[in-house]
């Protein structure tokens, strides 16, 4: 970890260009790079408007209660206080999913967790607003609280939300793809495991902030740190009861998102309401503690896996059960629930598959989508499970995985269409890089290697609300100076999407990144892009941008061809020129080419848009999991464990990622390294922990440590050496063949660590984060002759009823369920129910 071990670039040039590509695939400076190193990037809290006032939210200090009385009189009398809002002013509910419209901007009758907003106060300064917020008195009548899935099952009443599937179980899912029993009957080995993945949070460095600016004509502009301006726009329209065209959302560059700014939030809508009420701009910037309350982080998930293997290591069937602790609201939870099962099938061949899941409501901040959304938890379980299977079967864990890699261009048991797969190359790369075969199971006691793989979707195949419009749109405007203005609703959250947009256009038109001016994430000015979630921006915006640029190239080529008296087919767009392929001297500089086109066609502008291909699944729940293509990762991790203390150090991580094709090779590396970092945090230390006080003394149920100090995230001194392999196997659905890279490489970190620890000291830790006490306990148990396992107890008892039966393609299935009617209750329930407000 401390030692600097220089490694040379072996052989080939990295970021190599492919088949005539000029910019795509090379490492290049981000278009927002200089702004970010000069302090010029304007994050939401950096924005200042004339006459601006400041808002604070008063949040619930009790975990579950009926609001009896709100007294704001003391606060209102404080000098500088300008406005007060309570839930009465905003009766409409909102939420990210149409099926979970369960939030009020300010609570009206019930508060459901410590941190639920109740009152908003605006004042001349943030300081006065904060003081006034402390002076608000709210009387509560306490209600019983729920802190875990087991408690939610045991406490059906009182219901936290009346729309739950049953009691306080928000969502129940049970689906069976194929004759799973027959699959298990074929197995030589049936392995069962119980695993647990603790919740954790995004911890973006920027605290959420919003500035709402009312306009004299009654419209309003909202500048906010959001990953999803379009969905915020919809939520705001619903709550404010104003026409959507009168509300303009501009997403500020996010100071980190990771999924934590993907929901519409109370503070954003409330700032707009307050601004409209006061007729003055209103800013709200959350404290770090409040950011922990917004949460929407990783769901704590308990899992039970049961998998059948043949003697030679093929899988015959899997039955996965997951139980999600959802927190107090729906958020993306229905999708999260499905995601804990959906992607099990796209990595390894699983001919038959059953998936049962529940999501419980608990009196804690709502969980939602964090990098990997719902998939890291079952991925952890699966990859640890496979490590155990490999040992039992006497097969190298790498070989076992290679044996089972899904074939390209196939459809999985649960009807996901898989295109390109670079997983085989990923596994080979990290095994070779780490010398896995020679060293695994052969290192001295205390040192170990662990292998794990994963896959992730490149953009959700369906939008969050049902519609037939594009998922992303790009508009180009050409100036006779040669400048190109590109308009797109995409949101820069640090992942480099602005640069991807510019690069796709520059590549097609042969211009420089500097020729392009971006106008992004503005609901008034830019065509919709659904947002920076589900690793969808590069593929969807990229394809839209290519289409818009190609349409422009066609127009410009026509005009230039006419002017140069050449066939269009001979024209090349490169180096800021349009020229004859056979006589490169003959051509027009880029601005002259644009002038030629504008002279011929009038004012120049083009559009492009993208919608993902349709997916073959036609059963309830088939909406979650489909994607235009899937990325793949493989990881080997080396750990040193001190058997005296259980403390361990991750020394080296080898991570290979199948990105299809790099757009910006530097950004691809950055995303892989950032994923390793965040995965390491989740594996080793990050946890959203809660605590109760003794029941006889207090009803409290609080976040244990909502602070950057006590919620542990790795520092510069905690990072291992990293070796990154970028696997380029272009996918036909990706822009220039590109697939996602922002989320996938996080996933294998957690199981790789658990597997490495087992290799090092023979202790199985079936949960994350892995604390040193777990390893020490395992070692102590082993010394006493007990199994060296640390992990959760059995999966909570729950009757999932009869599963939705969907025969697989191999069984002659057509993607439809065969027993919709038999399942009565759930017949009309699904993930895509439209609720009109």
Residue that is written with structure tokens 């605290």 in the block? 207
- The one segment of 411-419, 467-475, 622-630, 715-723 that binds another protein by CB under 8 A: 715-723
Question: Which residue(s) pair with 192 in the sheet?
Answer: 306
Q: Is 486 in the site for another protein (CB under 8 A)?
A: no
Residue 734 interacting with another protein (CB under 8 A): no
**Nearer to another protein (CB atom), residue 40 or residue 481:** 40
Element (H, E) at 390: helix 376-393
CB of 51 to another protein, least distance (A): 15
Site for another protein in 269-328 (CB under 8 A): 285, 287-289
Segment 453 to 472, residues that bind another protein, using CB under 8 A: none
Residue 669 binding another protein, by CB under 8 A: yes
State how far the Cα of 402 lies from the Cα of 396, in Å rounded to an integer.
10
Say if CB 233 and CB 722 are below 8 A apart.
no
How many other C-beta atoms can be found within 10 angstroms of the C-beta atom of residue 521? 30
* Among the listed residues 77, 704, 786, 833, the single contact to another protein using CB under 8 A: 704
Which region, left, alpha or beta, applies to residue 700 given φ > 0 means left and ψ of -120 to 50 means alpha? beta
Contact at 8 Å (CB) between 266 and 115?
Answer: no
- Distance, CA of 631 to CA of 650 (rounded, Å): 25
Structure-token pair, residue 299: 């769901």
Does position 799 interact with another protein (CB under 8 A)? The reply is: no
β-partners of residue 488 are 474, 520
Give min distance, CB of 12 to another protein, in A. Answer: 7
**DSSP code, position 600:** H
CB of 183 to another protein, least distance (A): 34
Phi then psi dihedrals of residue 7, to 5 deg? -125, 140
What's the rounded Cα separation, in Å, for the pair 817 and 826? 12
Residue 781 to residue 824: CA distance in whole angstroms? 48
CB 487, CB 527: distance < 8 Å: yes
Q: Measured from the CB atom, is 2 or 569 closer to another protein? A: 2
20 part of the interface to another protein, by CB under 8 A: no
Rule CB under 8 A: is residue 390 a binding residue for another protein?
no
Phi, psi for residue 271 in degrees, rounded to 5: -60, -40
Q: What's the min distance (Å) between Cβ of 735 and another protein? A: 18
Which residues face 84 on adjacent strands?
A: 121
Interaction residues for another protein, span 612-651 (CB under 8 A): 642, 644-649
* Range 676-695, binding another protein (CB under 8 A): 676-678, 685, 693-694
719 in contact with another protein (CB under 8 A): yes
Q: Provide the angle, in degrees to the nearest 10, between the axes of the packed helices 229-240 and 266-278.
A: 50
- Closer CB to another protein, 11 or 394, in the complex: 11
* Number of other CB atoms surrounding residue 693 within 10 Å: 11
Q: Spell out a b/e string for 376-399, using b for 16 or more CB atoms within 10 Å of the CB, else e.
A: bbbbbbbbbbbbbbbeebebbbbe
Binding mask 108-147 for another protein (x = CB under 8 A): ------x-----------xx--x---x-------------
728 binds another protein per the rule CB under 8 A: yes
Per CB under 8 A, the segment of 353-361, 500-508, 624-632, 669-677 that binds another protein is: 669-677
Near another protein by CB under 8 A: residue from 250, 305, 493, 636: 493
Backbone angles phi, psi at 557, to 5 degrees: -60, -40
* CA distances (Å), origin 480, targets 173, 476, 554, 595: 57, 13, 17, 5
Q: Are 522 and 631 in contact (CB under 8 A)?
A: no
Nearest residue (CB) to another protein, 55 versus 247: 55
CB closer to another protein, 48 vs 825: 48
Find the binding residues for another protein in span 45-64 (CB under 8 A).
Answer: 45-46, 48, 59-63
Restricted to residues 179-238, the positions that interact with another protein (CB under 8 A) are 202-207
State yes or no: residue 77 binds another protein (CB under 8 A): no
Per-residue contact flags (x/-) with another protein for residues 402 to 431, judged by CB under 8 A:
-----------------------x---x--
Residue 525 as a binder of another protein (CB under 8 A): the answer is no
Which range touches another protein (CB under 8 A), out of 330-338, 356-364, 670-678, 748-756? 670-678
Residue 746 touching another protein (CB under 8 A):
no
Cβ proximity to another protein: between 324 and 656 the closer is: 656
Binding mask 236-265 for another protein (x = CB under 8 A): -----------------xxxxxx-------
Give the closest residue to 359 by CA, choosing from 386, 326, 315: 326
The answer to whether residue 674 forms part of the interface with another protein (CB under 8 A) is: yes
């Amino acid at each position: 970890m401390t030692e600097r071990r220089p490694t040379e670039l072996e052989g080939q040039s990295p970021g190599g260009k492919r088949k005539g590509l000029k910019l795509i695939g090379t490492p290049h400076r981000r278009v927002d790079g200089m702004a970010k190193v000069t302090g010029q990037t304007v994050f939401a809290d950096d924005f200042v408007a004339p006459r601006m006032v400041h808002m604070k939210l008063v949040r619930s200090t009790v975990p579950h209660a009926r609001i009896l009385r709100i007294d704001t009189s003391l606060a209102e009398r404080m000098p500088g206080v300008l406005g007060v809002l309570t839930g009465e002013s905003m009766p409409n509910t909102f939420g990210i999913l149409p099926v979970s419209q369960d939030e009020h901007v300010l609570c009206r009758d019930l508060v459901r967790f410590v941190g639920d907003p109740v009152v908003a106060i605006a004042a001349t300064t943030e300081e006065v607003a904060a003081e006034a917020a402390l002076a608000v008195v709210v009387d509560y009548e306490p209600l019983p609280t729920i802190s875990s899935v087991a408690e939610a099952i045991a406490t059906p009443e009182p219901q936290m939300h009346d729309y739950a599937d049953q009691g306080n179980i928000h969502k129940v899912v049970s689906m069976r793809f194929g004759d799973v029993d027959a699959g298990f009957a074929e197995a030589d080995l049936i392995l069962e495991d119980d695993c647990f993945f603790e919740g954790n949070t995004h911890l973006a460095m920027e605290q959420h902030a919003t500035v709402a600016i009312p306009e004299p004509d009654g419209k309003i502009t909202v500048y906010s740190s959001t990953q999803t301006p379009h969905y915020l726009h919809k939520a705001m329209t619903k709550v404010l009861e104003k026409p959507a065209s009168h509300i303009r959302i501009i997403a500020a560059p996010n100071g980190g998102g990771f999924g934590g700014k993907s929901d519409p939030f109370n503070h954003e809508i409330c700032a707009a309401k307050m601004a409209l009420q006061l007729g003055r701009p209103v800013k709200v910037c959350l404290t770090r503690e409040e950011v922990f309350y917004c949460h929407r982080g990783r769901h704590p998930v308990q899992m039970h896996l049961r998998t059948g293997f043949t003697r030679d290591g093929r899988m015959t069937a899997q039955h996965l059960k997951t139980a999600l602790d959802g927190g107090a609201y729906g958020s993306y939870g229905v999708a999260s629930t499905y995601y804990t099962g959906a992607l099990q099938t796209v990595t390894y061949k699983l001919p038959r598959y059953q998936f049962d899941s529940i999501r419980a409501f608990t009196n804690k901040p709502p969980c939602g989508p964090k990098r990997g959304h719902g998939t890291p938890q079952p991925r952890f379980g699966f990859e640890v499970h496979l490590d155990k299977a490999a040992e039992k079967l006497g097969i190298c864990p790498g070989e076992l995985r290679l044996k089972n890699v899904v074939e390209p261009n196939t459809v999985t048991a649960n009807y996901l269409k898989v295109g390109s797969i670079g997983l085989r190359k990923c596994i080979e790369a990290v095994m070779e890089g780490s010398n896995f075969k020679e060293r695994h199971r052969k290192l001295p006691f205390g040192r170990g290697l662990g292998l794990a793989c994963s896959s992730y979707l490149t953009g959700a195949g369906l939008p969050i609300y049902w519609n037939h419009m594009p998922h992303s749109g790009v508009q180009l405007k050409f100036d006779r100076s040669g400048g190109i203005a590109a308009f797109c609703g995409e949101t820069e959250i640090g992942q480099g999407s602005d640069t991807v947009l510019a690069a796709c256009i520059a590549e097609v038109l042969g211009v420089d990144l500097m020729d392009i001016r971006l106008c992004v994430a503005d609901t008034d000015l830019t065509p919709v892009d659904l947002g920076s979630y589900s690793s969808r921006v590069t593929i969807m915006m990229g394809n839209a941008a290519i289409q818009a640029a190609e349409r422009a190239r066609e127009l410009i080529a026509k005009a230039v061809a006419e002017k140069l008296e050449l066939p269009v087919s001979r024209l090349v767009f490169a180096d800021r020129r349009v020229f004859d392929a056979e006589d490169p001297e003959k051509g027009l500089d880029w601005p002259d080419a644009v002038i030629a086109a504008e002279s011929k066609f009038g004012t120049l502008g083009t559009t492009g848009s993208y919608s993902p291909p349709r997916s073959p699944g036609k059963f309830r729940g088939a909406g979650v999991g489909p994607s235009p293509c899937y990325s793949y990762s493989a990881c080997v991790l080396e750990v040193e464990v001190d058997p005296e203390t259980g403390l361990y150090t991750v020394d080296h991580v080898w991570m290979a990622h199948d990105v299809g094709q790099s757009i910006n090779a530097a950004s691809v590396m950055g995303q892989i390294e950032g994923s390793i970092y965040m995965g390491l945090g989740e594996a080793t230390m990050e946890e959203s922990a809660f605590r109760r006080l003794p029941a006889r003394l207090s009803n409290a149920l609080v976040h244990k440590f909502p602070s950057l100090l006590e919620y542990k995230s790795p520092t510069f001194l905690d990072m291992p050496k990293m070796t990154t392999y970028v696997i380029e196997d272009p996918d036909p659905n990706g822009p220039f063949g590109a697939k996602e890279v922002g989320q996938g490489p996080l996933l294998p970190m957690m199981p790789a660590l658990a597997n490495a620890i087992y290799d090092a000291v023979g202790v199985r830790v079936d949960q994350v984060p892995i604390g040193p006490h777990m390893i020490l306990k395992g070692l102590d148990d082993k010394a006493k002759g007990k199994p060296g396992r640390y992990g959760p107890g059995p999966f909570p008892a729950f009757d999932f009823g009869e599963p939705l039966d969907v025969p697989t393609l191999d069984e002659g299935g057509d993607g439809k369920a065969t027993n919709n009617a038999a399942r009565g209750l759930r017949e009309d329930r699904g993930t895509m129910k439209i609720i009109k407000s």
